[in-house]
Amino acid sequence: MKFLCVAATALATAQAFTTSPAAFTTAPTAPALNNVFTDAVATHRTRRATIVMDGKANAIRDRISTVNNTKKITSAMKLVAAAKVRRAQDSVMATRPFSETLQSVFGGLIQRLGGEAADLPLLTQREVNKVTIVVITGDRGLCGGYNSFMIKKAEARIGELTAQGIESDLILIGKKGASYFKRREHPIRKIYDCTQKPDSKQALAISEEIINSFLSGETDAVELMYTKFVSLIASTPSVRTLVPFSASEISQQGDEVFQLTSSDGDFGVERKELEVAEPQDFPNDMIFEQDPLQIVNSILPLYLNGQILRTLQESVASELASRMQSMQSASDNAAALSKRLSQEYNRARQAAVTQEILEIVTGAQALD
């Protein structure tokens, strides 16, 4: 038995001092020293950070990568929305000369006709038993509370009319509003899409539906609910009566336009109040080829078409501004989350490296 113990001890001692290629080396020559330095420099240049093989650290690292990619997407969506706001601004400015001319001619004809214009069907006030509500929402989400605010406003208005004993139905513009009210038991007259580029053809289809419904007696008044563009961080759900028209409102109502600006990388909006277009002066001895009443009756559908197009453009601008704000908030949140996750990853990596050092030191002490 003693012989076996002595043999085992001798065998362990022999293994501890076994020679290896790296254990005993001869002094390198000058070329060998150059190769050693060259390899050391190359290794330093290509050296990478310590790879933490801990499962928690790897999961955090993957999540950091995902959050950073999401931040890139939301930042790009913000810039795309800003470009579309500029196009909406240009569209509003392009339709402004036509609106001014129409308002000027209408004001001059109203002054020329006096009280005779009150006999036109679209200017006639009658007892209201049924109201058609035109609600403008968006086709897509990711725009904050833009769609929900307008839907709540429409439901509140429907409740007010019902409490007064007045019937109501809806003309819905936008897929979000249509998908919501389809699930509710409320009559829907017509549904239209709200594109990112409203045009006169789309506004004409809506205005024809409104005028036909009013003139046929199916409805006694038409109200328009849309989002008024205030600024890039604020928009206001608004309600206005489309028909019957008010001659004084058409001829005396001013207008305002907005312009998207940028300063030091931040977007802003400048609003400009426009004065009322002066009524065109028609001399008393001017002879009209058509009856002035017929001219006014022909101008009113054009005015309605222009107003619907304008509100569509303003609603789209409000939606895009809300999307810009939402994407900016999402980008800020992603940046904050990425920073917090990076701190957690560094702590986990530091803990793993510290644990490895402790294991090496413990092993070295055990050999002593």
Residue 252 · residue 244 · CB < 8 Å: no
Q: If DSSP codes are grouped into helix, strand and coil, which group holds residue 26?
A: coil
Q: What are phi and psi of 169, to 5 degrees?
A: -140, 175
Residue 106 · residue 296 · CB < 8 Å: yes
Residue 171 · residue 210 · CB < 8 Å: yes
Distance CA 260, CA 270 (A): 7
Q: CA distances (Å), 97 to each of 92, 299, 352, in order? A: 10, 15, 70
Q: How deeply is 229 buried, as exposed, middle or buried, from its count of CB atoms within 10 A (0-12, 13-18, 19+)?
A: buried
| Active-site amino acid positions | 143
Distance CA 335, CA 196 (A): 29
Neighbours of 198 (CB within 10 A): 23
Distance CA 230, CA 337 (A): 31
Determine the angle formed by the axes of helices 175-182 and 146-163, rounding to 10 degrees.
Answer: 50
Residue 193 · residue 174 · CB < 8 Å: yes
Distance CA 335, CA 240 (A): 42
Q: If DSSP codes are grouped into helix, strand and coil, which group holds residue 172?
A: strand
Q: If DSSP codes are grouped into helix, strand and coil, which group holds residue 279?
A: coil
User: Which position has the token pair 């008024």?
Assistant: 228
Q: Nearest 10 degrees: CA dihedral of 340, 345, 350, 353?
A: 180
Give Cα 196 to chain centroid, integer Å: 12
